[in-house]
Every structure is written in C-alpha cells, then in structure tokens.
Amino acid sequence: MRIRAKYFYMQLIVVGGFIASITFLLLRFNQTAQLKALSLNGVTALSELEVYINKTSFINRSMDSDKLLWEDWTLTGKKFDFEFRQMLASPAIYLLSPSIRNRTATLLENWDNITEENVKPLNTLFERLINNETMEQSQLDLAVVRLRDALVTNVQMPTSSLLDKIELEVKAFSSLLYILTASIAVVFLLISSLFGLNFARTFGRNIALLEKGLASVAGGNFSSRIDIKSKDEFGTISSHFNSLIGDLWYRLDAMKNMMQQIEQFAQEPNKKTSLEHFILQLAVNNTHSNAGMLMTVQDNMLIYNTSTGFFPPPMPLPGAVSGKKEYVSKWFEAHKVAAGEGILGEILSDHKPRFIRDNRDKSLPDNADAGSEFYINSAVFIPIHTSGELYGVLSLARTTDRRHFTDLDYSYMQTYCEFVGQIIDNRIKYLELERTQTINREIEVAADIQKTLLPDKMPKLTGAEAAAFSHAAKGVSGDYYDVFHLEHHKTAFVICDVAGKGVPASLMMIMIRTILRTINTEGKQANELLQELNRTISARLGADRFATISLLIFDTAQRKISYSNGAHHPLYIYRKKTGTYRMFDTDGLPMGIDINASFGHKNISIEDDDYLILFTDGLPESRNIDGEELGTERLLRFIARNAGEKPKDLCELVNKYLDTFTEGAPQHDDQTFLVIKAGRKG
C-alpha cells in the first residue's frame, strides 16, 4: 500500500472514529436531556397534584360560589391529568430501569381508578348541588375526604417516591455519560496514537535503512543493499536503489572486461577485424545500442571508419540522395563532415561530447520523426582524443521508443573513450616504432607515452604547495607520479615504480592512471583505492608485471592525510616546528602480485610548514664516481638544511645536489622526487 493511501486510511479511521464518537455522545446527551425533561415534568405534575389536592380540601369550606368553585376544581384536575399523563407517557421512561417503568404503569392505573371511583362521583354531587337538588352536607364532605385521601395515598406519595427514584437514576445515567465520554476520549487518543506511532515507526525505520544504504554507497561500498519489502514508495525506492547498485557493479565489471578484451585483441597476431571496429562493437553491446558508428579525423574533416547497424545520418540529406537505407548508407560512408556541419561538425570544432537523452526535444531535427526510417530516439556522441588531439568521434544511437540512454551510459562511454583514446594513442605510437624498426625510436615513443601520464603542472592547492621532478636513467622511465583533485579540499598524490622498461611499463602506467582516476569515488581512503587498483591490475597482468606504489590523500581543510603504501619507500614528514623527521609506513604488497592483497592505512595530522617527502629508490641509491651510495639519511639531512624553501625551489636544489654528488658516474635507476609543503592555518 502506498504511503499516501496509508495516510488517507489512517485519517479516515481517525475522522470516522471521531464522527462515530461524537454521534454516540450526542445521542447520550440527548437521552440525558430527555431524562432531565422527565424530572421537570414530574415536578410540574406533582405541583399540579398538590394544587389539586388543596382545592379538593377547600371544596366543602366555601359554598358561596359553588359553580365557580366546581369549574376551578375541574380545570385544575384536567391540568394535573394532562401533566401527569404527559410525564408517564414520556419516551424517557424507557431509558430507566424496569422497576420504574412498572411503577409508572401502577401510578397510571391508580389515577384511572381514582378518576372512576372518586372524581366522577364527586363531579356528580357537584352537579346536583349546582342544580339545587336536595343533598346532605355530610355526603359531599365524605366524597371530598375520600378523594383527597386517595390522591395523597395512591398518587402523591407514590409519585414523589418515583421522582426521587428517577432523580437517582438520572444522576447515575449522567455519571455513566461522563465516564463514557472520558473513556471514548482515551480510546480515541490511544487508537490515534497507535496508528501514528506505527506509521512513524515504519516511516522512521525505512528512512534509517535508506540513509544507511546511501551513506554506505557514498563511502565507496557498492556491495550495499537496502532490504525494504514494503509495497509503498520506500519499497520502490529500495528496488530502484538496488537496481542502480547492481547496474554500477555491472558497468564497473564491464569496463574492466572491455579494457582487458581490448588489450587482448591488440596482442592477437592475426586479427579478422580492425581495432576500431572491435572498440565500436564492444561499446554497442555494452550499452544495448541499436546502431553505432566511428568516424576519424582526416585533413580536418570527419570521415567514415566503421559502423554496426544502420546509423541514420544526424544531418540534412541532399536532395539528390534517395530515401532508401542502402543509398543513404553509401552516401554517408562516402561523405566527409566539415566543421560546423550538424552535430558531428560541432564536435569537430569544439571537441566536446554531446548527449541527446530524448530526441522529442528535436535536438536532432532531421531524426525526430518517429515514423521515419531515420528516427533517432536517443544518442551519445563522444570524441576520442590521442595525444591531446581529436582522433575521431564514437556515435551510439537507439532508434526505437522503448528506452533512452541514461546519465550512467553517458558517463560510462566517456570513461571508455578516454581509455580507448590512450589505447589507440598507444597503438599509433607503437606502429611508429614498428615502422622505424629501431630501438631508439621505440624508446623515444615510449617516453612520449610516459610524458603524457605525468601532470603538465601541479594543480593549485588551497593551504599547501607541491612540486616534483622525474628523470629516466635511460630513455623510458619506470617511475610514475600523478596529482589530481578529489572532492572538496582533497587531493591525491601518487608515486609509483613499475617493474620493467619501455612500452610494457608505459602500458601498465596507463592502466594505473586510468583505473585510479576511474575509481576515485567520494569518501574513499587511500588503502581502499590501492585495494581496488590491485584487484583490477592483478586480474589482467602476469606474475612478472608489478609495481610498487605509495598514495596519500591530502585534506587541506582538515589538515590531515590518508596514507597507504604498497611496498614502496615510506613517507617522510619533516616537522618544521621541531626540526625532526617522522617516518610513516604501512603493510602492503606491490600492485599485481596478489589479487586478494590488503593494504594498511594511516591517518596523519599535518602541522604548519610541514614537508611531506616521497621518492623512488633511484635517489638514495645514486652513486658517485667512487661507487658510494647517497643513502636516505644523507638525502634527508640535505632536505632538512633547506627547509623553508618553496617546493619548486627545493626540487631544483635536490636536483643540483644529485648532479653534484653523481658527477661523472653513470646512473642505473630512474629518479622521481615529490614534495608537499603545508601552509599555515587561516
């Protein structure tokens, strides 16, 4: 049941209960009013009876106006008869006990008997007296006395007693009414409270489950699930959330699989299809597209490279082209797209991706007719870059109304095309190496690949400065470092030493860089990133391919770092305040050794003007002409003597110090040095 329906039924029960309670109370109050009216009628009847008895007593004391006296007495008797019968006939009598109902019947019977046996005979005597018939005074006196005694004994006294009894029962009835009113109010309050508490408890529990699941995912735990089995909106949200998490896992695994498949395909000696077509086919299959196309740049124009399915041209067709698919396909394959021509020409100009979620807004006006063979429902156009230049455009389309591409599809393909660009860039450079067939050319191209991995310049940091240098011992370095922003005030610093040299080492660097920048979801700690990186690397590399790595995440707002190490040199922090070093290290194997390896973690507080030092083993293992090693201790002493310099200046000083120490001696290992200086608070 939906939450709105539950709330409606809860209101219906509360309102219905309230109306029923009010109706019941009104009925009871009406009955109480009837009983009060009965008591009042009884008092009135008793008063009339008393007057009637008094007038009966005075009948024989004044004979001056016999006719007037008789008429007055008769009228009083009628008034009493009316009031008395009205009281006894009141419906309120039936609200009282059976004994009272029996007594009212007896009273009515007594009055009827008195009327027949005493009132009527006395009336007859009065008529004779008025008609001047001769009669004895004693006869009239006797009739009056009998009537008076009968009225007192059989009517007045029982009526008075009856009224006292009625008064008691009315009071009891009223007391019961007050008790019922209070009870109904309490029951009504309890029922409302129970419904409200149950609703609030269920609502609160479901909110807590949603919050826990979302917080878990925000912390990087994609195995989290929300178990809400209700049939309301919470159940729907839970189902959608679990589907989204499942989709995220599917996309992450699919991305890893595609990367692995492309790498394996690139290594196959006898390929039955081109790398570009294989890349396109993977994209179409993993996004459930109806059609896909890859166009590449040639002479500043986009030309057709490969396609799968019929991809409707996202541009106006010339009048000479027939509307049949086969003719349109041939024209499109031969057509060269110039800058500014349709959506593809716009991408050729600005190199930016395009996402058409729903073409009902006619973002592709030439493909907006749902009844046309050239209809496009949803489309994604992603540029592929190699070495900073536009290589081509990957286009995917859904040509039916059943489903649109999602933001996840769009983001997924952007990441995929970044990796594809690096693979294609790698292939292009590697083909150049093959064509030259010289080792020097191979080393030069591999070095170019590696340079694209290193930051062009250090990003600006709030509350800190950083600088680095990296020198290859021979051509292509096995060292690698990277700096990139995470969320808010957090920045990741990576330093890595890859086993081996040349293109294989560069490919591994590409994988490390791509994976790290793909998995850096909000809230992850350094060890969690290393663990995810290691699982991905280990799944696709041989046992002879590995890399040591050190990673720290610097939160400049909190002035803390999250640090984890994978068998690399430890982190050294020079505390400017005390003039001493602190060394930090954690447990961990190199990347690619053990897929199930875990990595230690440390949270470290940073103080004003602290220096954070990371380097590869090429620095302490540098040798002078006499074969003497520089050593870690001597290197750290030199850095301490120059503490106070800006990171950029400190890098230059360390560089010169190494050159001076090793002058005339050949070096056999790469050298990479990274320094971060913490600013002052405020």
Q: What is the pLDDT of residues 589-609, one digit of tens each?
A: 999 889 999 999 999 999 999
Average pLDDT over residues 191-208: 73
For the segment 310-317, the average pLDDT, to the nearest whole number, is: 89
Give the residue from 60, 99, 106, 56 showing the smallest Cα distance to 80: 56
> Residue 428: which residues within 8 A CB-CB, separation 6 or more?
386
> For 635-680, what is each residue's pLDDT tens digit?
999 999 999 899 999 999 999 999 999 998 887 788 999 999 998 8
For residue 303, name the pLDDT band (cuts at 50, 70, 90): very high
The mean pLDDT of 496-507, rounded to a whole number, is 78
Tokens of 532: 């995810």
**Strand-by-strand arrangement of the 580-584 sheet:** 464-471, 671-678, 611-615, 571-575, 580-584
586 band by pLDDT with thresholds 50, 70 and 90? very high
The one-letter code for the residue type at 443 is I
Rounded to whole angstroms, the Cα distance separating 307 from 333 reads 9
Q: Which residue has the higher pLDDT, 82 or 69?
A: 82
Q: What is the pLDDT of residue 3?
A: 61
Interatomic CA distance for residues 308 and 24, integer angstroms:
77
DSSP state of 337: B
Tell me which architecture the domain covering 273-436 has in CATH: 2-Layer Sandwich (3.30)
The span from the CA of 282 to the CA of 261, in Å, is 9
Q: What is the mean pLDDT of residues 553-560?
A: 93
Does 437 have pLDDT greater than 80?
Answer: no
pLDDT at 381: 96
Residue type, 531: Q
- Structure tokens given for 349: 């100009």
Residue 469 has pLDDT above 60, yes or no: yes
Of 84-93, 132-141, 478-487, the one with minimum mean pLDDT is 132-141
Q: Given pLDDT bands bounded at 50, 70 and 90, which one contains residue 392?
A: very high
The average confidence (pLDDT) of the chain is 84
In the prediction, which pLDDT does 270 show?
A: 61
What's the pLDDT band for 631 if we cut at 50, 70, 90? very high
Among the residue ranges 116-125, 267-276, 530-539, 655-664, the one predicted with the least confidence is 267-276
Q: Are 165 and 100 in contact (CB under 8 A)?
A: yes
C-alpha separations of 451 from 427, 478, 479 in Å: 16, 12, 11
Q: Are 427 and 415 in contact (CB under 8 A)?
A: no
Of 389, 388, 299, residue with least CA distance to 339: 299
DSSP class of 154: I
User: Topology of 454-678 in CATH?
Assistant: Phosphatase 2c; domain 1 (3.60.40)
Angstrom distance (rounded) from CA 267 to CA 594: 24
What pLDDT band is residue 426 in, cutting at 50, 70 and 90? confident
Q: Is 398 left (phi over 0), alpha (psi -120 to 50) or beta?
A: beta
Tell which wins on pLDDT, 242 or 585: 585
Domain boundaries along the sequence of the chain = 3-203, 273-436, 454-678
Contact 677, 609 (CB under 8 A): yes
Which range, of 223-232, 428-437, 664-673, averages the lowest pLDDT?
223-232
Token pair 């890595």: residue: 496
Q: What does the pLDDT read at residue 271?
A: 66
Answer whether residue 439 shows pLDDT above 60. Answer: no
Tokens of residue 456, six digits: 């062009």
For residue 195, give every residue at least 6 positions away whose Cβ sits within 8 Å of its Cβ, in sequence order, or none.
Answer: 10, 13, 14
The answer to whether 616 and 495 have CB atoms below 8 angstroms apart is yes
Rounded Cα gap, residues 250 and 442, in angstroms? 37
Rounded to the nearest angstrom, the gap between the alpha carbon of residue 588 and the centroid of all alpha carbons in its chain is 36
Q: Which amino acid is at 346?
A: E
| Best mean pLDDT range from 23-32, 518-527, 605-614 | 605-614
Q: Which distant-in-sequence residues (6+ apart) come within 8 Å of 61 by Cβ?
A: none
CB distance 582 to 527 below 8 Å: no
Phi, psi torsion values for 52, nearest 5 degrees: -65, -45
Which is nearest to 635 in space by CA: 660, 657, 656, 665?
657
**Is the backbone of residue 220 left (phi > 0), alpha (psi -120 to 50) or beta?**
left
Amino acid identity, position 574: Y
Average of per-residue pLDDT across 414-418 = 90
- Per-residue pLDDT band for 72 (boundaries 50, 70, 90) equals confident
The counts of H helices and E strands in the chain are 16, 15
* Of residues 641 and 317, more confidently modeled: 641
CA distance 569 to 673: 11
Distance, in Å, from the CA atom of 193 to the CA atom of 184, rounded to the nearest integer, reads: 14
pLDDT > 90: what percent of the chain?
34
For residues 186-197, average pLDDT: 76
The pLDDT score that the predictor gives to residue 64 is 46
For residues 395-402, average pLDDT: 88
Per-residue pLDDT reduced to its tens digit, 342-373: 999 999 999 999 999 999 888 999 888 888 88
pLDDT above 70 coverage of the chain, percent: 84
Give the pLDDT confidence score for residue 535 in this predicted structure: 92
